Structures are given as C-alpha cells and as structure tokens.
Chains A and B, each alone.
Chain A
Amino acid sequence: MASPNREPLVRLVKRSSIPLWQSILVRVAAIILSLLFSAVIITLITKLDPVKVFTSMYNGAFGLELRTWNTIRDMMLLLCIAVGLAPAFKMKFWNIGAEGQILVGGIVSAACMISIGDKLPTALLLIVMALISAVAGAIWGLIPAIFKAKWNTNETLFTLMMNYVAIQLTSFMVDVWDKKGSHSVGVINQTTRTGWFPPIAEKQYLLNVIIVLALTVIMFIYLKKTKQGYEIAVVGESENTARYAGISVKKVILRTMLISGAICGIAGFIEVAGVSHTISVNTAGGRGFTAIIVAWLAKFNTFTMILISLLLVFLDKGAVQIATDFGLNEYASEMVTGIILFFILGSEFFINYKLIFRHSNKGGKA
C-alpha cells in the first residue's frame, strides 16, 4: 500500500509552450517509430524483406516521371481540400462534410462540361466552372452552418449526413447523364476535351499545382494576417470571449463555412476538370476524410499541410506499388496509413503534456 502522502509515479502537466525543435523531434520520432512498427507488421504477415518493401514504395511514388506527376496530382487534390477545411477547423467547426462539398462541386462542373462545354471559349468556361462549383460547395457547407449558428445544431453529425445526401445525388445525376445504361458517365468530352485543364509547358497537371498552391498561400495569409482570420481564431478558442470582444459569432461561422465549402467545391472542380474528367460516387474517394486528418495534424498551418499530404499520398502510391510488386492487396496502404496516423496522433500528447516522474525532481516535494 502506498502511503497517502506519496506522489503518484507519473504526473501530467499541461505544457504552455514547447520549443519548435522539440515538437519537430517528437513528430519525426513518431513517424520513424510508426514506420518501424509497420515494417514489423508487414514482415510478420507477408514474410517479405521490409527494406525491399519500402524501396518498392519509393519507386511506386517517384520511380518514373509519370508516377511523380501522379503523386503530385493526388497530393494537390488532398492539399486543396485540407486548405479548405483549415478555416473551419480553426474555428472548431467540425466540417466532416468535405466529401459532400467536393461531390456537389464535381457535379456542377460535370454539368457545365456536358451542357455548355461547346458554347464558351476554354478559359472562360473554366472560370465559369470554378465559380459555379465554388458556389455549390459553399451552399452545401452553408446549410449545416446556418443551423449551427442559429440553433447550435451538432455540425459534426449534420455535415456527415450531408455527405451521404451528396453521394446519392451524384448517383442520381450519373444515371441521368448515363447514355448506355452502364451506371457510369464515362470520360466526358473525350474527343473534344472541352472543359479539360489545358497542359501548361506540356505538363498536364501544372495548372492543378498552380491553383492549389495559390490557394495555400492565400489561405495562409488569410488565417495569419487578416482581421477575419483573427476572428476565426478567437471564436475557435472561446465563443464567449469572442462575444465579449464584440465579434458576431454567427457571422463568423457563416462566413467561414462559406469559404470552407467553396474551396472544397473547387477541389471537386479540379478533380473533375483537371484529373479524372468524369464524375462518379467515388470522385471524392474518401479524400474529404483524409484531409481532415491532414488539416488537424498540420495545426491549420497550410504550409505544413503540404508535407503531411505528401506523406499520405506517398504511402498510398507506395502501397499500390507493393501490391503489384509482391502480389499483395492494395488495401495494405490504408492499414499502414492508419498505423502511422495513430502514432502521429499519439505523439501530440507528448507535445501538449509533460510527464513528471516521481524521482525526477529530487527534494522538490513541496
């Protein structure tokens, strides 16, 4: 029996701040540990040499120029969504609905390509598509925001449900546009390529990169340097503080979700016009959920998001390569991604809290 006066073996103290190098060290350690752990799991299950497996992963992501561009393309999509989610999450508004906002953005883009594709010059058409998809995404994001602002309706669950409404809506539109009865749209404007992103300097996905990086920079400035960005931070910290400071919380919630939804809508536009040139229920493909993790882990810093989306896309591409090289199943990527994210999430603890062991502080028993 421990005497009642004795200190517990480990005490927790919340840190007020942590030096940058320490927080980076913790995260890097977490990633290395998680990779080691995944390597052990992979070896145990498949009896393969983990070094070979990781080499194969690297080849899958960057082995050829084409593969590198595909990695960049997917990374940009993920980054775009995460950038869209950043303001909402910074406000502590749990927008789980990116998936739906991407889909409605994709639907209206596809609708433009199908209906007015041949009536406008390419540049104008793309601008119109971008605007309309932003509006669609914004509306999809605004609906839960209105209820949150007025009646405090739980936004996590509301936005989650909106995803599934959007998925069924997509499925419905696919049926409407489907000419062959195959329950898919196929590549839109395959011969004319109207509404497709034009290649820049012969690089097919360069326009995607330009748009997304522009959004990343703008969002960084918006969140860090503008009055509106500051308001978002205050509402996120404490709604009451915001009210005392004379900030209209409702207005901030609506405005922020409008922006968040719009960018997610644009991500849908990029996916449809710049990547797949088609629309299906898999257009969002779970990226809306993955991006939440990206945004959260980056602590809403849009530049950190670049690194994290690169890591996740690398894992995904790498795992697909492992699957083909070693005859495994590509879902290994989701498994490894899950493990790595668990480690990174767990490592946050050591950044936010300090462990104090009983004897680490000799004679300091106050």
Chain B
Amino acid sequence: MTLASFISWFTGAFVFGIVIMLGCVGETLTEKSGNLNLGVPGIMYLGGISSLSAVFMTQLRVREMIAEAAAVFVEAGNRAQEWVPETGLLKFLTQPVTSAITVKGAEASYRVFFDFNGWIGVVIAIVAALIGAAFGGLIYSFLTVTLRANQNVTGLTLTIFGSGVANFFGGSLNKLAGGVGQISVATTSTAFRTSFPWISTAFGKVSELLFNYGFFSYIAIVIAIIAHIYLNKTRHGLNLRAVGENPATADAAGINVTKYKYLATCIGAAISGLGGLYFVMDYIKGTWANDGSIESLGWLAVALVIFTKWKPINAIWGAFVFGLCYWVYLYMPQGVSEILAELFGVQKISHLQSLYKMLPYIVTIIVLIITSLRKKRENQPPQSLGLSYFREDR
C-alpha cells in the first residue's frame, strides 16, 4: 500500500467516522436514561434536512431581497452599473421594498453576499439541525415517557417518519432548485469544510492525516469528550445513569425521572441530528440525494453504541475503526483479496466488496456477545433499557 492510498483511506475513515460518532454519542446519552431510541436514523434525517432546508430557504429569501433592493436602487434613478453589492445591500435591506425584478447586479451581489456570509449559513444550519432533531426526540419522549408507548415500536416509527419527512422535503427542494441533484448550498458547505489555519498544513503528512478536516469535525470530538465527562464526573450525569439503571430507585432518591428522560432524549437527539448535519454539509458537500444513505449510517450509529459499550469516549476511536472497516474494500492489498477470493470461490475480486462491508456489523455482533459472556458490570447496557417507567407499577 502506498502512502497516498493509506492517507486517503485514513481520511475517508475519519470523515465517515465523525458522522456515526455524533449519532452514537447522542444515542448513548438517550440510552443512559433507559430509552432505547431506534429512531436514530430518522433523527439524523431530521437534523440533516432541517439544516439543508433552513440554509436553502434563507438563500432564496436573501436572493429575493437583494433583487428587490437592486430594483429599488435602479428605480431611484441610479444606473445599474453603480450598484455596489455590499454597501447597496446594507442601504436597501432595511428600507421598505416596492417591487421585485431580478437584475444581473442582484445575482452578482447575492453571490458576493454569500461569499462573505457562509458563516451565517453555518450558524443557521447548526441551529436548525439542533431544533429539527430535538423535535424528533420530543415526539419520542412524549410517546414513550408520558404516554408509555412501546420504545422499540415508537423508535422504528420515528425512523419511518424522519426518513419520510427528509426525503419528501429533500425531493421537493431539489425540484425547487431545478431538478434532481440540483440543490446546493455550496458556500455554507465550504464554510463547514474550512480547516484551521496554519496547523492544517504545518506538519506535512501528519497535518494531512490529523488536522486537515472541516472545523466541525473537531467540535464533534469535543462533544464526545464533554459527554464522557458529563456522564462520569458530574452529579447530573450520575443521576442520569441512575435513572437508566433503575428508575424506581432513582425516583425514591428524589430524582425527577421524567425530567431526566425527556432532557436526555431530546439533547441526545439533537447531538445525533448534528451527525445528519455533518453528513449533509461536509460529507456530501451541501447537497441532497434520496438514496437512503443516512438511514444505513443511522443504524451503524446504533451498532457503534454497542461497540463502544455505552461510553462516548470510546466512540471517538470506535467510529474511526468502523470507518476503516467501511472503506477497507477499496484499499485491501491485492494479494489478500486474491487469497480471499479463492477461499470463497469468487470470480471477480470486486465482488468481495460486499463481504468487507459486513465487517462493522460482524464486529459489533462479536462485541455484543463478548460483553454478555463476560458479564462485567460496567460494560453492560443500562439495566432498564427499553422499559417504560410507571411509578405505581411496582
């Protein structure tokens, strides 16, 4: 394997890993409260589509506003060539607008505006993803905590709902933007993929391997670390774990079980939703495709929760390992593939791709089996995972 192909494998795995790591950290928080939320794929869908549509709609609105402003500018007796985007914009955005005509100058100023303001897009995208995904968590907690519906069924329904909403709006936005695959929020996506200055190039290959990713990747890692500290070092986090292990005991100790379950599920969902945001904005560069890829990533995130034994800190390297497994088929040395192909009686080496893609799931199954075999208490799922709590039900 050459160094170049190693680097591309490593970086591919890293970026892939961030998506499922965010999904996993959010789901870990949720599961620690005893809620097994199988709606992670749906929640990631909601996060992704919320961010994309919010940015896209803002873009449309800004474009309209600039067009209107430019028209007013021309109407006021100025010549169109004198329209200076930045100052003209500032001057006219605040004034009442009378007509809407698209002129060339408006198009240009729109572009300038968004070159300057990709970062506004970033903020809008993050806020929208958090709200959209937390809304999914809220539906889930209302049904399972307040109405005590079955968790597995509610979670699966949330996945159906989230994927429906996301693909419905994703498809419609594409149509609005002029056809399949046409939607693009390139400026915002570029802002998301901005890496830190200096350090991203200073150390040659090391920088290329470790420091050359979009800034949000590092925020994601920090979120995982914070989640770890929260669950292990704070009183609030310990209370949460108590709720997940044995809600009746936690209740008796004066912990508000309902509040903890709601908060953990909604905040967990918001974090999982950031995984969807990262997928849309960074991984596929601010576009949308109704191809179900978020759904399979969501299930991988659920798998990762098991793989990490419910510890967010493990998600950082666990997600990377999953990423390596996921992409290994592209980088497997020829010799190994030939041996495997002969072993399985496969005619074409490219057919092995599917078998390699099984790896993350098989590894997860093995981890699941080993944790249940060893019965080490700190590695087990939260004891009340999947069960509703009803105080009078004892």
Contacts and interface: CB of A to CB of B under 8 A. Distances in A.
Interface in A37-64: none
Contacts of A338: 157-158, 160-162, 164-165
A334 B163 CA distance: 7
A239 B297 CA distance: 35
B212 interface: no
Given A176-B351, A349-B147, A342 B346 contact: no
A339 B290 CA distance: 20
Nearest to B166: A331
A292 interface: yes
Interface string A162-184: 11110011011001100000000
Contact of B355 (A172, A290, A328, A345): A172
Given A14-B393, A164-B358, A171-B354, A345 B154 contact: yes
Contact of A153 (B152, B157, B372): B372
Given A329-B172, A332-B168, A161 B365 contact: yes
A169 B175 CA distance: 35
Contact of B153 (A169, A171, A293): A293
Contact of A342 (B157, B290, B348): B157
A342 B166 CA distance: 17
A158 interface: yes
A107 B153 CA distance: 27
A151 B157 CA distance: 30
B153 A161 contact: no
A293 B386 contact: no
Contacts of A13: 392
A289 B159 CA distance: 10
B148 A342 contact: no
Contacts, number: 163
Interface in B352-390: 353-355, 357-358, 361-362, 364-365, 368-369, 372-373, 381, 386, 390
A96 B354 contact: no
A345 B143 contact: yes
Nearest to B372: A153
Contact of A172 (B351, B361, B369): B351
Interface in A112-170: 147, 151-154, 156-158, 160-165, 168-169
B164 A332 contact: yes
A158 B362 CA distance: 10
B350 A331 contact: no
B134 interface: no
Interface in B242-275: none
A94 interface: yes
Contacts of B38: 96, 156, 160
Contact of B160 (A147, A158, A161, A290): A290
A10 to B, nearest CB: 11
B147 A346 contact: yes
B365 A348 contact: no
Interface of B is mostly: helix
A276 interface: no
A245 interface: no
A12 interface: yes
A329 B166 CA distance: 11
Specify which of B348, B353, B354 lies most central, judged by the most chain A CB atoms within 10 Å of its CB: B354
A292 B156 contact: yes
Contacts of A157: 302-303, 306, 364, 368
B157 A345 contact: yes
Interface residues of B, number: 58
Nearest to A327: B175
Given A165-B361, A168-B354, A293-B156, A334 B372 contact: no
A172 B354 contact: yes
B355 A346 contact: no
A69 interface: no
B369 A292 contact: no
B223 to A, nearest CB: 23
Contact of A293 (B146, B157, B347): B157
Contact of A164 (B175, B351, B361, B386): B361
Contact of B152 (A94, A175, A328): A94
Nearest to A341: B157
Contacts of A353: 148
Interface string B122-151: 000000000000000001001100111110
A161 B303 contact: yes
A346 B149 contact: yes
A331 B153 contact: no
Contacts of B149: 345-346, 348-349
A175 B354 contact: yes
A292 B161 contact: no
Contacts of B368: 153-154, 157-158, 161
Interface in A325-366: 328-329, 331-339, 341-342, 345-346, 348-349, 352-353
A303 interface: no
B224 interface: no
A56 B131 CA distance: 34
Nearest to B305: A157
Contact of A289 (B142, B147, B160, B357): B160
A339 B150 CA distance: 16
A329 B183 CA distance: 15
19 contacts: A12-B390, A12-B392, A94-B152, A154-B381, A161-B361, A164-B299, A164-B358, A168-B357, A168-B358, A175-B350, A293-B157, A296-B150, A296-B153, A331-B171, A332-B168, A334-B161, A337-B161, A337-B164, A349-B147
Given A151-B372, A157-B364, 4 more contacts: A168-B358, A334-B165, A336-B164, A349-B146
